[in-house]
Amino acid sequence: MALAVALVVLARLLLNWNVAAYDFGTLPVLNGLLAAYGVPAAGFALAAVLFGRRRDDALVAVLEAGALAFLAALVLLEIRHALAGGSLDPDGDWSFREAALDVTGLALLATLARWLDQRLGGRQVLGWGWRLLLGLAAVLSLRLVLDNPAFSDGAVLLRFPVFNELALAYAVPALLAALAARALARPGGMAFDPLLTRGLAGYALVAAFAWVTLTVRHRFHPVELSLTLEETSAAELWAYSGAWLGFGAALLALGIRSGIAALRLAALAVIGLTIGKAFLVDMAELTGLWRVLSFLGLGLALIGLGWVYRRFVVVPVAEAPPRPV
């Protein structure tokens, strides 16, 4: 009986297409959505704990899944409600700011579910839940990588450097995905899943690189990042090379410190991309002092990184002892 009631409540609240027409008030966060989805989320979580003390069965799994689903719906609907002035109209524009908040919200929920999964000794629903939430956040974030403010017009961003929508869309999800990949790969930790671990690590690398690149673009064009509306200056081209080299150096340092070869290979890939940019783009676009600074800085950086790689990564081959006469 309890299972049937739980399924009916789930279907009524999560499959209700008329929710966009309801009046939840105009106040951000503290509005009718808390009663509509926050209270059921808390109720399902409490019921899962109480029923779980008697028997861990399908009912408990449904209650746990329902609590997580209601919480995810609450976060996404609250974001939509706040940015649309109290409206949940599905036909309204999905701005870059809303997309960035959605990505970060899903990634934070996934991190919370992963933490609970670890604390509770491995719950199947929570295990699948945080993977699905983080996977959805990664898919949305990768969509924002392909359709980023530099390739599209009209994206409105805060003028603050670093702490803006770009961090929400790329940096924060990349960090949380990297932490999840590290937890999956840790010996004696969570169940090892090599495919998911590599997928999360690859996503974290792509999203972090996109954040570094777009942050440079935002520094030079805080109002409009579109490449079709704002030209790229010589200083900006030079800044990309410096930022990419710094990103590659950071990856190399992390790879050396953690002993993870994949991070060192990723660092070499980023540095190789920077070298390719210097010869293919900077050589053609930069002139005078900027060209000199570009290649001088690249050369000095490569010398320093080469020394670091030989010093901390390459293990010298021990010489064989001389044969006795």
**229's tokens:** 């509306």
**156's tokens:** 């409105």
Domain boundaries, the chain: 1-89, 93-209, 232-311
pLDDT above 80 for 79: yes
What whole-number distance in Å separates Cα of residue 201 and Cα of residue 184? Answer: 11
Query: Residues 135-170: pLDDT tens digits?
Result: 999 999 999 988 899 888 778 888 888 889 999 999
What whole-number distance in Å separates Cα of residue 18 and Cα of residue 180? Answer: 36
Residue 140 sits at the vertex; the CA angle it makes with 174 and 96, to the nearest 5 degrees, is: 95
Q: Which pLDDT band holds residue 105 (cuts at 50, 70, 90)?
A: very high
- Helix H, strand E, coil C: the string for the chain is CHHHHHHHHHHHHHCCHHHHHCCCCCCCCCCHHHHHHHHHHHHHHHHHHHHHHHCCCHHHHHHHHHHHHHHHHHHHHHHHHHHCCCCCCCCCCCCHHHHHHHHHHHHHHHHHHHHHHHHCCCCHHHHHHHHHHHHHHHHHHHHHHHCCCCCCCCCCCCCCCCCCHHHHHHHHHHHHHHHHHHHHHCCCCCCCCHHHHHHHHHHHHHHHHHHHHHHHHHHHCCCCCCCCCCCCCHHHHHHHHHHHHHHHHHHHHHHHHHCCHHHHHHHHHHHHHHHHHHHHHHHHHCCHHHHHHHHHHHHHHHHHHHHHHHHHCCCCCCCCCCCCC
pLDDT score for 319: 52
Question: Across residues 185-193, what is the average pLDDT?
Answer: 61
Query: Residues 161-170: pLDDT tens digits?
Result: 888 999 999 9
What whole-number distance in Å separates Cα of residue 185 and Cα of residue 202? Answer: 14
Q: Are 229 and 220 in contact (CB under 8 A)?
A: no
Q: Which pLDDT band holds residue 321 (cuts at 50, 70, 90)?
A: low
Residues, the chain: 325
Most confident by average pLDDT, 96-110, 112-126, 187-201: 96-110
Q: Which pLDDT band holds residue 63 (cuts at 50, 70, 90)?
A: very high
**182's tokens:** 């590290």
**173's tokens:** 């999800």
